Structure 1
Amino acid sequence: MRPLEDLTTPVRAWLHRFAFLLLVGGAFALMLVGKADGILVERARTTVVDAVAPILDAASRPVATVADVLREGRELAVLRAQNAALRKENARLKHWQLVARRLEAENAALAQLLDMAPEPQTDYVTGRVIADSGGAFVRSVLINAGTNHGIAKGQAALTGEGLAGRVAEVGRTSGRVLLITDINSRIPVVIESTRQRGILAGDNSDRPKLVYLPEEAEVAVGQRIVTSGHGGVFPPGLPVGEIVKAGEHGVRVRPFADWNRMEYLRVVDYGMPGILMTREDDYSARIAAATGAPR
């Protein structure tokens, strides 16, 4: 055994010393073979891959299994957290449901006691936003619903968050909604917490102005703005936005409606034409009232 080790020691030393050069030479030789006979190299590579593929597949299965287990564990933890949050939210919503039912019963009893006139029946049509003005001087969108669907000029257009605008033009199958940020938009509103009245005036920016407030008005950032119901345009209480700036340069309001994600609008008929009734409509209404004919 000892003489054999003495013979192999110089060979091992020589291999350690010239291993890098041997690898470079082998790689260079493979490149030359690949250039000379590409089909042969491709067949050899395919053969090697076919031989190694079952081994790699067998080795990858435990790794994939462990990865699936870890992913399911993370998803289970997330689901548990979401479940706990949903339980809390459900309990909170049940509480507010009980409060709402009690207030509804009290409101009905008081309305009956005062012989109060009931609120008018509301109808609505949901339309998809198919185009917007995209101009610098107009803030409006086009929806795929018109007179054939029951939409009329002056009706309120709402998103899930709040008031978006009103119907300014209407055709048979389409309607144009003037947004509350347009320079031609003027909406009577109140500050929800203080009940102080004002006008929300659009100026083609994303933050319309709150004007014509009383001098003693208490304005603070974060206050909610809702419709006041004056002018017969919109009913009171529709959410509009919240104050984001109040100072010497005026009061600015951030609307609840998100224009960048506006895909559908609900056009609601509150039966309040108000100041939006045109002269032709007013003339037709007077003629119908005088002759007893339907409008």
Structure 2
Amino acid sequence: MGSAVARVGRAYVKQRVGSVSIAVAARSWTQRFAFVLLILLSFGIMLVGKADTVVVSRARTLLIDLIAPVMDAASRPIASAKEAASTVQELVALKQENARLAEENKTLLEWQSIGRELQSQNAALRDILKFTPDPRASYVTAPVIADTSSSYVRSLIVLAGQNDGVVKGQAAITGAGLVGRVLEVGRRASRVLLLTDISARVPVVIERTRDQAVLAGNNSDNPELQYLPRDVDIKVGDRIVTSGVGGNFPVGLPVGEVARLADGHILVQLYAQLDRMEYLRLVDYSLPGILMQDLGIDTSKAAGVTSPGLGKLPRAQ
């Protein structure tokens, strides 16, 4: 009986060894020719697709239908996680924005209180001084159609004239500041004399020190400040605005800032970029002007008019 059991055991061992040997051989063969099999399988799929595209299309559609629910189920947690992360980020951003807005609101409330106080003080001072408000300005916006500047003159031509309500002497400004004034007016176009022209003179004031001066053009990009007091404390960067003296321009129109101090000359950089202007606003401030105010002469007819004791007045520039 013992020998029979031994024979059975040996037979079982031989069978297992044979099975393992076959499995090892099959695995080795598969690994050796796997790449070739994959290529053959790819060609086979391509041939099947070419042979009967309807069958392949149906199979692909069926496969997509089978996989779609699985992909949808797998993507839902990811989408939920993304949505949750996005919500958290939005909440953090909203919290920061709320804090910023609260700080801005606090600042605005402080300025509102200061503004109301200044408004009441301004009203009281106007009442004491019997202040008359400046007349409301009217304006015409016109495109610049030509630059007539040369070595001897600095001017522009704008497409607006008498038909549009333009009058000689009106201020020409941009959003940055004063550019010049209307010198000649036609029916459809006008010529604007720039602040950089050698004949341009504008009464101005240094905003920081309140010292008055005259901005004189010199046919360069930087006009010069003249007639300043000897002890003036002027610095580079000081803001220059119109003073209103003479009645041609109102008080406070921005002009430019001190660019440099060189050899006793104080040069100003204009706020308006004269070489990049496309539109100009021609403003009528309804101001009398120096000729109308002091001599009783209509400024629109000032050129060539004579006055007793004064002789012939020079042509208005």
User: Fold match, TM over 0.5?
Assistant: yes
Q: 1:122 is matched with which residue?
A: 136
Change (3 A) 1:264 1:233: closer
The corresponding residue for 2:287 is 271
1:23-42 map, 5 Å = none
Mean Cα deviation higher: 130-139 or 229-238: 130-139
Structure whose alpha-carbon radius of gyration is higher = 2
Q: Give the residue type in structure 2 aligned to 1:147.
A: Q
Q: CA deviation at 1:94?
A: 1.3
- Cα 1:273–1:231 shift into 2, 3 Å: closer
State the distance in 2 between where 1:158 and 1:111 align: 30
Of 183, 199, 210, 1:168 maps to 183
- Which of these residues, 224, 229, 249, is aligned with residue 210 of structure 1? 224
Once residues 123 and 142 of structure 1 are traced to their aligned partners in structure 2, the CA distance between those partners, rounded to angstroms, is 20
Structure-2 separation of matches of 1:66 and 1:132:
58
**Percentage of identical aligned residues:** 31
2:203 to 167, 170, 188: 188
| Alignment deviations for residues 192-248 of structure 1 (CA, whole Å, 9 cap, x no partner) | 22222322234566x523331333322112322111223332123322222233343
Q: Distance in 1 between matches of 2:23 and 2:205?
A: 98
Over aligned residue pairs, what C-alpha RMSD do you find? 5.1
**Secondary structure of 1:231 counterpart:** coil
Partners of 2:169 and 2:269 in 1: how far apart? Answer: 23
- Tell me the TM-score normalized by structure 1: 0.63
Contact 1:141 1:178 in 2 (8 A): no
1:218-229 map, 5 Å:
218-229=233-244
Is the partner of 1:153 in helix, strand or coil?
coil
Cα distance in 2 for partners of 1:164, 1:221 equals 21
Relative to 1, partners in 2 of residues 1:261 and 1:149: Cα closer, same or farther, differing over 3 Å? closer
- Asked if the contact 1:136–1:204 (Cα under 8 Å) also holds between the matched residues in 2, the reply is no
Partner of 2:214: 199
Unaligned runs of 5+ in 2: 1-15, 307-317
Distance in 2 between the 1:21 and 1:202 partners? 89
2:144 aligned with 1:131, yes or no?
A: yes
Query: Aligned residues, how many?
Result: 272
For residues 58 and 146 of structure 1, the distance between their equivalents in structure 2, rounded to whole angstroms, comes to 73
Measure how far apart 1:139 and its partner are. 5.4
Per the TM alignment, residue 99 of structure 1 is displaced from its structure 2 partner at its CA by 4.1
Counterpart in the other structure of 2:129: 111
Which residues of 2 match residues 89-100 of structure 1 at below 5 A? 89-100=107-118
Is the Cα–Cα contact under 8 Å of residues 198 and 210 in structure 1 kept in the other structure?
no
